[in-house]
Each structure stands twice: as structure tokens, then as C-alpha cells.
Chain A
């Protein structure tokens, strides 16, 4: 059975190699400073007590006033899982965060997907291009302020 890291314990362990990098934690998740994500992830990959060698997934969520990056990490030798989160782009500003592709190659296509659909730029990504949509597509569809077709329909009585 895969063990899930307690967020608070993971935060304590991160503090040991990267003091001041964690922001908050609860029983399941750990929030880290977005600028130090590279340092934290490198420690989580190499640290003998973590050995998070497989990045299960990276995704982003739009919380209106900020974006949240979610990293699901898996350790094959330890059979453990951990969740790292980072808040960025406060006030819907242009968000640029460090890429984790140099650490885990598996992030390459997923970060391209986040850039395409959520509009977060990744610094240090080898090939940051849109993946699902074409260059020049207006906006980023997974953002909450992107109007879908249904939402863009205006009722007849309001059209006049």
C-alpha cells in the first residue's frame, strides 16, 4: 500500500534542507514558495528519505485571485506519495515560475499544457510552446474568466 506523506511532516523535512521555503501545510498538502520550487524539488528527488523519482502529474488551478500549481510526486523505491503546492500570479498578474523539467523530464509536456491552457510561463523550459491550441489563439481556456460558448450566448431579450 502506498504511503501518503503527511503535509506537515513533509514541510518539516523540507525545512531541513531549504529553510524558509515552506509557506503553509495541512494533513495532506504542503505549500512552498513559488520562487524556490526548483530547490525544493531537487531536494525531494535526491534526498534519501524522499526519493521522489516519478512526477505523477503537475497541474494548475485558477482560484480567481491567484493560481495554484499542484505537483503530485511518487517515490518508486519508498512506495510513497506526496503533494506539493505553490501559489503564484496574485491579482491575475503574468505569472512566471521556475520549470521543473530539468529535474523531471516528465513535466515537459504537462508544463506546456499548463502554459497553453492556463497561461502560466515556465522559466527554464526547453520548448515552451502551445500544445493543444494553435499559436495566436486568444486567451487561455482553462482560466475562469475565459467565456465558453454557452456562457457567451446572450439571451434574445437582452440582445436588442
Chain B
């Protein structure tokens, strides 16, 4: 006997707890199988790009914090790179090392959140999330030492950072770096070999490398499809050419690969921070106000600065007309662009895999809608 089914459309979100913010899908199911997905954006649109046109270059930093609020240090870094390119500012070495340390700590925090929420979406309610949040908490405490803020840091300034690290920061950093590999091992013992996780994530939502490149997908998602593309390695900004690190690659391109790449990348971040802490030397953390005034006025022109953010290539395209605020500030948001293939990834999978695949993309609604 055959069972007749008819397609049914279900609205998921924007207030669904697994949508990582306010995201809405209109999903059409045939039985349990997904046959169509329509993503609907815009519930967190605040017009950051327009707001940037009314603020000075320094004030825009606060807007970049609020774009990707789980990796605000990296948003700051990408924006500052574009401003420095636009103005031709030579950054102070100590400031650059400090912002690299802050950026890599933020990358660990962001990947921890990605992994924790992916497992939350897989149905392991609470436990993995409390583990990852414990580690993230120590990173946020270090940010508090660096700049006084935990989430919306606004730590960077044109040419460096606004404040040197206090003396108690360094011992805390070292003990954290000593402890973190064991904590990651602990998490991996518990998760990476777990048969339930294998069954749920392997072979689901596979992304072939050529399709991923054509759809402008970058970051851990692209490296999980086996494409060796990391801007820290291929186009070293700041002092990334002076540090050594590996790029973890996985060829499967499925949900498990995306999870695995993030776990391995955290170990590489630890290596980078160790090298930065070794190479940093005393000195000013930013150029003096005579060299780089508080109110920077870049010459007319445009600049595009891009970094390897925690989610992919995070770029800022700034246009200056010679005034005190940007004429146009465009953000190349990896969270939004990584969603291009969402429909293709999800079609043919089951309802239970929907939020797992969605969580493995690791997006942040603040950056998707801006």
C-alpha cells in the first residue's frame, strides 16, 4: 500500500530558538523531506551602512561591534584595516600584535559558540553549551582587562589599539593558553568520536568545492569543502606573515566537516597567540595624536580591506570624499553571503537536519541584516 502525501508549507521563525537570532524560513515539506526553502531576511536590519555615513571614522567602530556581536574584535580589525588603507596610516607594531592577540581570542570564542550551538541544535540540550560558554567566559574576562567591555569592545583605533594591556593580562593569557588545549581535548573526547553525532552530521548538506567557490562562500565553510583559502595565509594582513600556523582542511564538505574544521582551527589560534605573545615588544600602542589625529580626514578615494573573519572573508569597502565621515561604507558580510546556497543545501534533507545544517553554517543575524 502506498501512502499519499501532499506538500505542506511551514513557517519557521523569526522567533524560533534555533534560528540564531531572528531568521525566518518558509519551508515546504513532502512528508518529512524538505522540497523547498525560502529564507526571509531583514528582521534585524538597522541600516548600519547608512548610519556610518553620519558618523566620524572613529565612531563607526561602535557600529562594527554591533554587526557580528559574537566576534566584534574581528569586525573592528577589518574596519580598521580599511581605514588605514584609505588614510595611509602606518600602524604601531605593539598595537598590531595586541589586536592580533585579541582577534585570535575572538576567533576561538566565536568558534566555541558555533560548535556549542550546533550541538544544541543537534539536540544535546545544555551540556556542550555550558562547556563552551565556560571557555568563552574566560576570553570575555580577558577582553574586559584589555578594554573594559566584554561584547561590544570598540578596542581598535586607526593605527593600533586605544589602550595597552594591563600587567595582569599576560599571566591570565598564559594560564588560559595552558588550559585551553585540555579543554578542547575534553570537548573532543566527548563529541568528535560520538556515534550519534556521526549519524546525524556525516553526509548531510554536502557542499562541493567548485559550487562553494562560485557562490562566494569563504572561511571555515570553504575549508570544510577542501579549498585551501585562508586570507591570513594567502594575503597576510597585519603581521600574519611573521607567524606560522596550519590550515585544517576537510574534504567531505558536510556538516561534520564544518564542525571538525572549527575544532581544529581553535588549536591553530592557540599557536598564533603564543607566537604573538612571544614577539610583542614594548612601545606605543598607537601613533600619537599629532601623527593620526582624533578626527581623521582621509583623502578622497576608496579602499577595500578584508580579513579572515571567524565566518569568512570579512571586508569593508570605504569611499571617502575628503570629509570626516565615510561617504559610503559597505560591509562584505560573510554570514549573509554564506547563506547563498542554503536552499540547495537543504533540499532533499529531512526536517530534523534542517537546523543542524543551518547551525553548521555558523551565521550571525546581526551581520546578515546589518
User: Which of A53, A61, A108, A133 is within 8 Å of B45, CB to CB?
Assistant: A133
Q: How many residues does chain A have at the interface if contact means C-beta atoms less than 8 Å apart?
A: 35
Residues of B within 8 A of A104 (CB): 214-216
* Bitwise interface map of A from 113 to 154 toward B, beta carbon under 8 Å scored 1, else 0: 100010000000000001111100000011000101010000
* Residue A34, interface by CB 8 Å: no
Asked if B313 CB lies within 8 Å of chain A CBs, one says: yes
Docked complex: A40-84 residues within 8 A CB-CB of B:
53-57, 59, 61-62, 70, 72, 76, 79, 81, 83
The listed residue (B45, B54, B214, B313) touching A56 by CB distance below 8 A is B313
Please indicate the chain A residues that have their CB under 8 angstroms from the CB of B227 in the complex.
Answer: 76
Query: Residue A156 at the B interface, CB < 8 A?
Result: no
Is the beta-carbon distance between B235 and A109 smaller than 8 angstroms?
no
CB-contacts of B166-216 with A (<8 A): 211, 213-216
Q: Are A109 and B336 in contact (CB under 8 A)?
A: yes
Who on chain B is nearest to A143 by CB?
B50
Given contacts A108-B340, A117-B49, A150-B54, whether A79 and B235 have CB atoms under 8 Å apart is yes
Q: Is the CB of A133 within 8 A of B332?
A: no
- Find out whether the CB atom of A132 lies under 8 angstroms from the CB atom of B45: yes
A151 to B306, CA, bound (A): 32
Specify the chain B residue showing the minimal Cβ separation from A79: B234
Alpha-carbon gap, A62 to B53, bound state (A): 12
Point out the residues of chain B lying under 8 angstroms from A55, CB to CB.
216
A160 interface contact, C-beta 8 A: no
> Does A106 sit at the interface, judged by CB under 8 A?
yes
Interface contact B304-A83, CB-CB below 8 Å: yes
- Closest Cβ of chain A to B208, distance in Å, is 12
Residue of chain B at shortest CB distance from A61: B328
Separation of A132 and B214 alpha carbons in the complex (Å) = 23
Q: Which residue of A lies closest to B39 (CB)?
A: A109
* Residues of chain B contacted by A131 (CB below 8 angstroms): 41-42
Across-interface contacts of B241 in A (CB, < 8 A): 1
Given A61-B328, A110-B337, do A105 and B317 touch, yes or no (CB 8 Å)?
Answer: no
- On chain A, the residues within 8 Å of B216 by CB distance are 54-57, 104-107
Find chain B residues with CB under 8 A from A106 CB: 214-217, 337, 340
Interface bracket on B: 35 or more
* Interface residue B7 (Cβ < 8 Å from any Cβ of A): no
Q: Give min CB distance, A104 to chain B, whole Å.
A: 6
A159 within 8 A of partner (CB): no
B339 touches A72 (CB 8 A): no
State in angstroms the CA–CA spacing of A1 and B330 once bound together.
24
A70 touches B341 (CB 8 A): no
Among residues of B, the one whose C-beta sits closest to the C-beta of A72 is B304
Residue in B42, B302, B341 whose CB lies within 8 Å of A133: B42
**Cβ of A62 and Cβ of B328 under 8 Å apart?**
yes
Cβ–Cβ contact A57 & B315, under 8 A: yes
Do A2 and B235 contact each other (CB < 8 Å), given the known contacts A72-B317, A131-B41, A141-B47? yes
Known contacts A133-B42, A148-B54; is-contact A105 B215 (Cβ 8 Å): yes
B117 within 8 A of A: no
Contact A76 B229, beta carbon cutoff 8 Å:
yes
CB-contacts of A75-105 with B (<8 A): 76, 79, 81, 83, 104-105
The minimal Cβ–Cβ distance linking B86 to chain A, given in whole angstroms, is: 12
- Identity of the chain B residue whose Cβ is nearest the Cβ of A116 in the assembled complex: B42
Q: How far apart are the CA atoms of A108 and B42 in the complex, in Å?
A: 16
Chain B residues near A59 (CB, 8 Å)?
317, 328, 330, 332
Write the residues of chain B forming the contact surface with A, with a CB cutoff of 8 angstroms.
41-42, 45, 47, 49-50, 54, 211, 213-218, 227, 229, 234-236, 241, 302, 304, 306, 313, 315, 317, 319, 327-328, 330, 332, 336-337, 339-341, 369-370
Cross-chain pairs A/B with CB under 8 angstroms, 27 sampled: A53-B213, A55-B216, A56-B306, A57-B330, A59-B317, A61-B319, A61-B327, A61-B330, A70-B302, A72-B317, A76-B213, A81-B235, A83-B304, A104-B214, A104-B215, A105-B211, A105-B214, A105-B216, A106-B340, A107-B216, A108-B215, A109-B336, A110-B337, A132-B42, A132-B45, A141-B50, A142-B50
The 4 closest A-B pairs by CB, nearest first: A106-B216, A2-B235, A57-B332, A132-B45
